Chain A
Amino acid sequence: MTDELIARLADDIRPVRRGALPRRLLLALGIGAALAFAVMLPWIGLRADLPAAFGQWTYWSKFGFTLGFAVLGFVAAMRLARPGGNLRRPVLGVVALVVLLGIGGILQILAAPPEAVRELLLGGTALVCPIYIVVLSVPIHAALALAMRRLAPTNLPLAGFATGLAAGGASAWVYAFHCGESGLPFITIWYTLGILISALAGAALGRWVLRWR
Protein backbone atom coordinates (compact mmCIF):
# COMPACT_ATOMS: atom_id res chain seq x y z
CA MET A 1 0.00 0.00 0.00
CA THR A 2 2.79 2.31 0.92
CA ASP A 3 4.55 1.31 -2.29
CA GLU A 4 1.50 2.27 -4.34
CA LEU A 5 1.42 5.62 -2.62
CA ILE A 6 5.09 6.17 -3.31
CA ALA A 7 4.60 5.35 -6.97
CA ARG A 8 1.68 7.76 -7.15
CA LEU A 9 3.60 10.56 -5.46
CA ALA A 10 6.67 10.02 -7.61
CA ASP A 11 4.54 10.29 -10.77
CA ASP A 12 3.05 13.52 -9.50
CA ILE A 13 6.29 15.35 -8.94
CA ARG A 14 6.57 18.77 -10.46
CA PRO A 15 9.66 20.94 -10.01
CA VAL A 16 9.51 23.41 -7.14
CA ARG A 17 10.79 26.84 -8.05
CA ARG A 18 13.27 28.51 -5.76
CA GLY A 19 11.57 30.97 -3.44
CA ALA A 20 8.18 29.31 -3.85
CA LEU A 21 7.47 29.66 -0.13
CA PRO A 22 8.06 33.43 0.27
CA ARG A 23 6.16 33.98 -2.96
CA ARG A 24 3.11 32.19 -1.65
CA LEU A 25 3.06 34.10 1.62
CA LEU A 26 3.68 37.40 -0.15
CA LEU A 27 0.78 36.72 -2.50
CA ALA A 28 -1.47 36.05 0.50
CA LEU A 29 -0.29 39.24 2.21
CA GLY A 30 -0.97 41.24 -0.95
CA ILE A 31 -4.45 39.78 -1.42
CA GLY A 32 -5.20 40.38 2.25
CA ALA A 33 -4.07 44.01 2.10
CA ALA A 34 -6.17 44.59 -1.01
CA LEU A 35 -9.17 43.13 0.83
CA ALA A 36 -8.49 45.38 3.82
CA PHE A 37 -8.50 48.40 1.47
CA ALA A 38 -11.73 47.16 -0.07
CA VAL A 39 -13.28 47.02 3.41
CA MET A 40 -11.90 50.37 4.54
CA LEU A 41 -12.73 52.57 1.54
CA PRO A 42 -16.54 52.35 1.67
CA TRP A 43 -16.51 52.16 5.47
CA ILE A 44 -14.32 54.97 6.76
CA GLY A 45 -12.66 56.23 3.57
CA LEU A 46 -9.29 57.91 3.13
CA ARG A 47 -8.19 60.91 5.14
CA ALA A 48 -9.35 64.09 3.47
CA ASP A 49 -5.92 65.68 3.47
CA LEU A 50 -4.07 62.68 2.06
CA PRO A 51 -2.25 64.59 -0.73
CA ALA A 52 -1.04 67.16 1.80
CA ALA A 53 0.01 64.37 4.19
CA PHE A 54 2.35 62.96 1.56
CA GLY A 55 4.48 66.05 2.14
CA GLN A 56 4.76 65.59 5.91
CA TRP A 57 7.51 63.54 7.55
CA THR A 58 5.09 62.36 10.26
CA TYR A 59 3.06 60.57 7.63
CA TRP A 60 6.12 58.79 6.32
CA SER A 61 7.25 57.79 9.80
CA LYS A 62 3.85 56.17 10.26
CA PHE A 63 4.19 54.57 6.84
CA GLY A 64 7.64 53.19 7.66
CA PHE A 65 6.74 52.09 11.16
CA THR A 66 3.73 50.04 10.08
CA LEU A 67 5.49 48.65 7.02
CA GLY A 68 8.36 47.64 9.32
CA PHE A 69 5.93 45.60 11.41
CA ALA A 70 4.49 43.97 8.32
CA VAL A 71 7.95 43.07 7.02
CA LEU A 72 9.11 41.68 10.37
CA GLY A 73 5.91 39.65 10.70
CA PHE A 74 6.37 38.40 7.17
CA VAL A 75 9.95 37.32 7.84
CA ALA A 76 8.82 35.59 11.03
CA ALA A 77 5.98 33.84 9.22
CA MET A 78 8.39 32.70 6.52
CA ARG A 79 10.64 31.11 9.13
CA LEU A 80 7.84 29.51 11.09
CA ALA A 81 6.29 28.06 7.93
CA ARG A 82 9.18 25.59 8.01
CA PRO A 83 9.58 23.04 10.77
CA GLY A 84 11.72 24.26 13.63
CA GLY A 85 11.81 27.98 12.82
CA ASN A 86 12.00 30.49 15.65
CA LEU A 87 11.00 34.07 16.34
CA ARG A 88 14.03 35.48 18.07
CA ARG A 89 15.36 37.88 15.47
CA PRO A 90 12.03 39.23 14.23
CA VAL A 91 10.99 39.91 17.83
CA LEU A 92 14.23 41.79 18.44
CA GLY A 93 13.40 43.80 15.33
CA VAL A 94 9.95 44.61 16.70
CA VAL A 95 11.41 45.77 20.01
CA ALA A 96 13.97 47.93 18.18
CA LEU A 97 11.23 49.46 16.05
CA VAL A 98 9.06 50.35 19.05
CA VAL A 99 12.04 51.72 21.01
CA LEU A 100 13.11 53.84 18.05
CA LEU A 101 9.71 55.41 17.57
CA GLY A 102 9.25 55.68 21.34
CA ILE A 103 12.43 57.74 21.59
CA GLY A 104 11.15 59.98 18.80
CA GLY A 105 7.87 60.29 20.71
CA ILE A 106 9.60 61.24 23.96
CA LEU A 107 11.70 63.86 22.19
CA GLN A 108 8.56 65.26 20.62
CA ILE A 109 6.85 65.47 24.03
CA LEU A 110 9.87 67.17 25.61
CA ALA A 111 9.98 69.73 22.82
CA ALA A 112 6.24 70.45 22.94
CA PRO A 113 4.52 73.04 25.13
CA PRO A 114 2.77 71.34 28.10
CA GLU A 115 -0.74 71.98 26.78
CA ALA A 116 0.02 70.05 23.56
CA VAL A 117 1.17 66.86 25.30
CA ARG A 118 -2.33 65.49 25.69
CA GLU A 119 -2.95 65.91 21.98
CA LEU A 120 0.33 64.14 21.16
CA LEU A 121 -0.51 61.17 23.37
CA LEU A 122 -4.21 60.72 22.78
CA GLY A 123 -4.94 62.61 19.57
CA GLY A 124 -8.65 62.53 18.81
CA THR A 125 -8.99 58.81 18.08
CA ALA A 126 -6.91 57.00 20.69
CA LEU A 127 -9.40 54.26 21.48
CA VAL A 128 -10.89 53.61 18.08
CA CYS A 129 -7.54 53.42 16.34
CA PRO A 130 -6.50 50.00 17.74
CA ILE A 131 -10.00 48.69 17.09
CA TYR A 132 -9.91 49.71 13.42
CA ILE A 133 -6.47 48.15 13.07
CA VAL A 134 -7.65 44.87 14.56
CA VAL A 135 -10.79 44.78 12.41
CA LEU A 136 -8.89 45.55 9.21
CA SER A 137 -6.35 42.86 10.06
CA VAL A 138 -9.01 40.14 9.88
CA PRO A 139 -9.09 39.70 6.07
CA ILE A 140 -5.28 39.88 5.91
CA HIS A 141 -4.94 37.32 8.64
CA ALA A 142 -7.44 35.03 6.96
CA ALA A 143 -5.48 35.11 3.69
CA LEU A 144 -2.19 34.48 5.47
CA ALA A 145 -3.61 31.65 7.56
CA LEU A 146 -4.99 29.92 4.46
CA ALA A 147 -1.52 30.05 2.90
CA MET A 148 0.18 28.98 6.12
CA ARG A 149 -1.99 25.89 6.53
CA ARG A 150 -0.64 24.58 3.25
CA LEU A 151 2.96 25.00 4.43
CA ALA A 152 4.50 23.16 7.36
CA PRO A 153 4.43 25.13 10.62
CA THR A 154 5.16 22.86 13.57
CA ASN A 155 4.82 25.41 16.36
CA LEU A 156 1.28 26.60 15.75
CA PRO A 157 0.96 29.32 18.43
CA LEU A 158 4.25 30.91 17.35
CA ALA A 159 3.31 30.66 13.68
CA GLY A 160 -0.03 32.28 14.56
CA PHE A 161 1.79 35.08 16.34
CA ALA A 162 3.89 35.65 13.24
CA THR A 163 0.94 35.74 10.83
CA GLY A 164 -0.89 37.99 13.29
CA LEU A 165 2.06 40.34 13.43
CA ALA A 166 2.29 40.51 9.65
CA ALA A 167 -1.48 41.00 9.37
CA GLY A 168 -1.49 43.68 12.10
CA GLY A 169 1.40 45.56 10.52
CA ALA A 170 -0.15 45.47 7.05
CA SER A 171 -3.52 46.46 8.49
CA ALA A 172 -2.00 49.43 10.34
CA TRP A 173 -0.27 50.41 7.11
CA VAL A 174 -3.63 50.38 5.33
CA TYR A 175 -5.27 52.24 8.21
CA ALA A 176 -2.60 54.97 8.01
CA PHE A 177 -4.25 56.04 4.73
CA HIS A 178 -7.30 56.94 6.78
CA CYS A 179 -5.90 58.04 10.13
CA GLY A 180 -5.20 61.76 10.45
CA GLU A 181 -3.14 61.54 13.63
CA SER A 182 0.47 62.61 13.40
CA GLY A 183 1.92 62.54 16.96
CA LEU A 184 4.78 60.06 17.26
CA PRO A 185 3.75 59.16 20.84
CA PHE A 186 0.25 58.47 19.58
CA ILE A 187 1.52 56.13 16.89
CA THR A 188 3.94 54.38 19.23
CA ILE A 189 1.25 53.60 21.76
CA TRP A 190 -1.97 53.04 19.85
CA TYR A 191 -0.69 51.57 16.61
CA THR A 192 1.55 49.19 18.53
CA LEU A 193 -1.39 48.22 20.71
CA GLY A 194 -3.56 47.39 17.70
CA ILE A 195 -0.80 45.38 16.03
CA LEU A 196 -0.01 43.56 19.27
CA ILE A 197 -3.66 42.59 19.81
CA SER A 198 -3.72 41.20 16.29
CA ALA A 199 -0.52 39.21 16.90
CA LEU A 200 -1.76 37.83 20.22
CA ALA A 201 -5.08 36.87 18.68
CA GLY A 202 -3.12 35.00 16.04
CA ALA A 203 -1.14 33.18 18.71
CA ALA A 204 -4.28 32.25 20.62
CA LEU A 205 -6.09 30.99 17.51
CA GLY A 206 -3.05 29.38 15.87
CA ARG A 207 -3.56 25.99 17.46
CA TRP A 208 -6.90 25.60 15.69
CA VAL A 209 -6.66 27.82 12.66
CA LEU A 210 -3.24 26.69 11.43
CA ARG A 211 -3.57 22.98 12.16
CA TRP A 212 -2.83 20.93 9.07
CA ARG A 213 -3.23 17.30 8.20
Chain B
Amino acid sequence: MLAALGGDAAAYRRLLDELGRLLKAYFARRLGAALAANRDDLVQETLMAIHTRRLTYDPTQRFTAWAYAIARYKLIDHYRRSRIRYTVPLEDDAALFARDEAGDTAARMDVEVALATLPARPADLIRQVRLEGASIAEAARKVGMTETAAKVSIHRGLKALAARFAPGDRDDR
Protein backbone atom coordinates (compact mmCIF):
# COMPACT_ATOMS: atom_id res chain seq x y z
CA MET B 1 0.00 0.00 0.00
CA LEU B 2 2.86 2.33 0.70
CA ALA B 3 4.10 1.78 -2.83
CA ALA B 4 0.58 2.37 -4.09
CA LEU B 5 0.30 5.65 -2.17
CA GLY B 6 3.52 6.62 -3.91
CA GLY B 7 1.86 6.01 -7.26
CA ASP B 8 3.15 2.52 -8.14
CA ALA B 9 0.33 1.20 -10.32
CA ALA B 10 1.56 -2.40 -10.54
CA ALA B 11 1.88 -2.80 -6.80
CA TYR B 12 -1.49 -1.16 -6.36
CA ARG B 13 -3.08 -3.55 -8.79
CA ARG B 14 -1.71 -6.58 -6.94
CA LEU B 15 -2.99 -5.09 -3.71
CA LEU B 16 -6.50 -4.55 -5.10
CA ASP B 17 -6.60 -8.07 -6.53
CA GLU B 18 -5.72 -9.51 -3.16
CA LEU B 19 -8.19 -7.23 -1.40
CA GLY B 20 -10.93 -8.18 -3.82
CA ARG B 21 -10.51 -11.82 -2.85
CA LEU B 22 -10.46 -11.07 0.88
CA LEU B 23 -13.49 -8.81 0.64
CA LYS B 24 -15.45 -11.40 -1.30
CA ALA B 25 -14.96 -13.84 1.56
CA TYR B 26 -15.67 -11.14 4.13
CA PHE B 27 -19.02 -10.16 2.64
CA ALA B 28 -20.03 -13.70 1.75
CA ARG B 29 -19.59 -14.70 5.38
CA ARG B 30 -21.73 -11.85 6.62
CA LEU B 31 -24.47 -11.58 4.03
CA GLY B 32 -25.76 -15.12 4.18
CA ALA B 33 -27.08 -17.12 1.25
CA ALA B 34 -30.22 -15.02 0.74
CA LEU B 35 -28.23 -11.87 0.02
CA ALA B 36 -25.25 -13.35 -1.79
CA ALA B 37 -26.36 -11.45 -4.92
CA ASN B 38 -25.26 -8.19 -3.28
CA ARG B 39 -21.81 -9.46 -2.53
CA ASP B 40 -20.08 -8.36 -5.71
CA ASP B 41 -21.69 -4.91 -5.53
CA LEU B 42 -20.39 -4.47 -2.03
CA VAL B 43 -16.92 -5.66 -2.98
CA GLN B 44 -16.81 -3.12 -5.79
CA GLU B 45 -18.18 -0.31 -3.67
CA THR B 46 -15.61 -1.02 -1.00
CA LEU B 47 -12.77 -1.11 -3.53
CA MET B 48 -13.97 2.24 -4.89
CA ALA B 49 -14.13 3.72 -1.41
CA ILE B 50 -10.67 2.41 -0.60
CA HIS B 51 -9.44 4.02 -3.80
CA THR B 52 -11.05 7.44 -3.45
CA ARG B 53 -10.40 7.65 0.30
CA ARG B 54 -6.91 6.21 0.33
CA LEU B 55 -5.57 9.43 1.80
CA THR B 56 -7.27 8.47 5.08
CA TYR B 57 -4.99 5.46 5.48
CA ASP B 58 -2.44 6.15 8.18
CA PRO B 59 0.83 4.41 7.19
CA THR B 60 1.71 3.80 10.84
CA GLN B 61 -1.36 1.58 11.28
CA ARG B 62 -2.12 -1.85 9.86
CA PHE B 63 -3.45 -1.69 6.34
CA THR B 64 -5.85 -4.62 6.71
CA ALA B 65 -7.48 -3.08 9.78
CA TRP B 66 -8.15 0.09 7.82
CA ALA B 67 -9.49 -1.76 4.77
CA TYR B 68 -11.81 -3.93 6.88
CA ALA B 69 -13.08 -0.87 8.75
CA ILE B 70 -14.15 0.59 5.40
CA ALA B 71 -15.72 -2.74 4.46
CA ARG B 72 -17.64 -2.81 7.74
CA TYR B 73 -18.93 0.71 7.16
CA LYS B 74 -20.09 -0.33 3.69
CA LEU B 75 -21.81 -3.40 5.09
CA ILE B 76 -23.69 -1.43 7.74
CA ASP B 77 -24.60 1.21 5.20
CA HIS B 78 -25.92 -1.53 2.95
CA TYR B 79 -28.11 -2.93 5.72
CA ARG B 80 -29.43 0.53 6.48
CA ARG B 81 -30.12 1.35 2.86
CA SER B 82 -31.94 -1.84 2.10
CA ARG B 83 -33.79 -1.58 5.40
CA ILE B 84 -33.06 -5.15 6.21
CA ARG B 85 -34.20 -6.14 9.61
CA TYR B 86 -32.42 -9.26 10.58
CA THR B 87 -34.60 -11.24 12.87
CA VAL B 88 -32.70 -13.83 14.80
CA PRO B 89 -34.29 -16.24 17.25
CA LEU B 90 -33.19 -15.26 20.71
CA GLU B 91 -31.33 -18.46 21.44
CA ASP B 92 -29.29 -18.06 18.22
CA ASP B 93 -28.05 -14.59 18.94
CA ALA B 94 -24.50 -15.66 19.71
CA ALA B 95 -23.58 -14.84 16.11
CA LEU B 96 -24.70 -11.24 16.56
CA PHE B 97 -22.43 -10.75 19.51
CA ALA B 98 -19.56 -12.83 18.21
CA ARG B 99 -16.35 -10.92 18.00
CA ASP B 100 -15.07 -9.88 14.65
CA GLU B 101 -12.43 -12.41 13.80
CA ALA B 102 -11.35 -10.92 10.50
CA GLY B 103 -8.44 -9.14 12.14
CA ASP B 104 -7.34 -12.24 14.00
CA THR B 105 -7.50 -14.30 10.86
CA ALA B 106 -5.44 -11.80 8.91
CA ALA B 107 -2.89 -11.58 11.72
CA ARG B 108 -2.76 -15.35 11.91
CA MET B 109 -2.16 -15.54 8.19
CA ASP B 110 0.66 -13.05 8.52
CA VAL B 111 2.24 -15.17 11.25
CA GLU B 112 2.05 -18.30 9.13
CA VAL B 113 3.66 -16.49 6.23
CA ALA B 114 6.39 -15.29 8.55
CA LEU B 115 6.99 -18.72 10.08
CA ALA B 116 7.25 -20.28 6.64
CA THR B 117 10.43 -18.30 6.10
CA LEU B 118 12.14 -20.18 8.95
CA PRO B 119 13.54 -23.73 8.84
CA ALA B 120 10.94 -26.33 9.75
CA ARG B 121 12.09 -27.16 13.28
CA PRO B 122 12.34 -23.72 14.85
CA ALA B 123 9.11 -22.77 13.08
CA ASP B 124 7.37 -25.78 14.56
CA LEU B 125 8.72 -25.01 18.03
CA ILE B 126 7.63 -21.39 17.88
CA ARG B 127 4.18 -22.38 16.68
CA GLN B 128 3.73 -24.85 19.52
CA VAL B 129 5.12 -22.71 22.31
CA ARG B 130 4.10 -19.21 21.32
CA LEU B 131 0.82 -19.83 19.47
CA GLU B 132 -0.62 -23.04 20.83
CA GLY B 133 0.43 -22.59 24.41
CA ALA B 134 2.55 -25.71 24.86
CA SER B 135 5.35 -25.65 27.42
CA ILE B 136 8.92 -25.67 26.18
CA ALA B 137 9.48 -29.14 27.67
CA GLU B 138 6.47 -30.59 25.85
CA ALA B 139 7.42 -29.02 22.54
CA ALA B 140 11.03 -30.15 22.90
CA ARG B 141 9.92 -33.72 23.55
CA LYS B 142 7.70 -33.69 20.47
CA VAL B 143 10.43 -32.62 18.08
CA GLY B 144 13.03 -34.72 19.88
CA MET B 145 15.36 -32.04 21.26
CA THR B 146 16.61 -31.25 24.72
CA GLU B 147 14.85 -28.43 26.49
CA THR B 148 17.90 -26.18 26.34
CA ALA B 149 18.37 -26.76 22.63
CA ALA B 150 14.68 -25.98 22.07
CA LYS B 151 14.96 -22.73 24.00
CA VAL B 152 17.97 -21.67 21.95
CA SER B 153 16.25 -22.64 18.75
CA ILE B 154 13.13 -20.60 19.59
CA HIS B 155 15.22 -17.63 20.58
CA ARG B 156 17.24 -17.73 17.37
CA GLY B 157 14.10 -18.19 15.29
CA LEU B 158 12.38 -15.18 16.85
CA LYS B 159 15.51 -13.13 16.42
CA ALA B 160 15.70 -14.05 12.75
CA LEU B 161 12.06 -13.06 12.32
CA ALA B 162 12.60 -9.79 14.14
CA ALA B 163 15.54 -8.99 11.90
CA ARG B 164 13.59 -9.87 8.78
CA PHE B 165 10.50 -7.88 9.65
CA ALA B 166 12.22 -4.92 11.22
CA PRO B 167 10.53 -1.58 10.45
CA GLY B 168 11.38 -0.33 7.02
CA ASP B 169 11.69 -3.80 5.52
CA ARG B 170 8.02 -4.53 5.10
CA ASP B 171 6.60 -4.04 1.67
CA ASP B 172 3.02 -5.19 2.16
CA ARG B 173 1.67 -2.41 4.29
Contact = CB atoms under 8 A, between A and B. Distances in A.
A19 to B, nearest CB: 9
Contact-residue bracket for chain A: 20 to 34
B43 interface: yes
B7 A13 contact: yes
Interface in B30-46: 40, 43-45
A142 interface: no
A7 B10 CA distance: 10
Contacts of B4: 13
Interface string A19-56: 01100100000000000000000000000000000000
Nearest to A82: B56
Top 8 A-B pairs ranked by shortest CB distance? A83-B69, A15-B7, A10-B13, A152-B56, A20-B55, A152-B53, A6-B16, A9-B51
Given A5-B47, A20-B55, A152-B70, 20 more contacts: A5-B44, A5-B48, A6-B16, A6-B17, A6-B47, A9-B48, A10-B10, A13-B4, A13-B8, A14-B7, A15-B7, A16-B55, A21-B55, A24-B55, A83-B69, A83-B73, A151-B53, A151-B56, A152-B69, A213-B77
Contact of A2 (B12, B43, B69): B43
B72 interface: yes
A115 interface: no
B167 interface: no
B141 interface: no
13 contacts: A5-B47, A9-B48, A10-B12, A13-B9, A15-B6, A20-B55, A83-B66, A83-B69, A84-B65, A152-B69, A154-B73, A212-B49, A213-B49
A152 B58 CA distance: 12
Task: Give the interface size class of chain B.
Answer: 20 to 34
A57 B108 CA distance: 58
Contact of B49 (A10, A15, A24, A152): A152
B53 A11 contact: no
A80 B56 CA distance: 10
Contacts of A12: 51
A5 B51 CA distance: 11
Contacts of A213: 45, 49, 77
A149 to B, nearest CB: 10
Nearest to B68: A83
Contacts of B5: 15-16
Contacts of A92: none
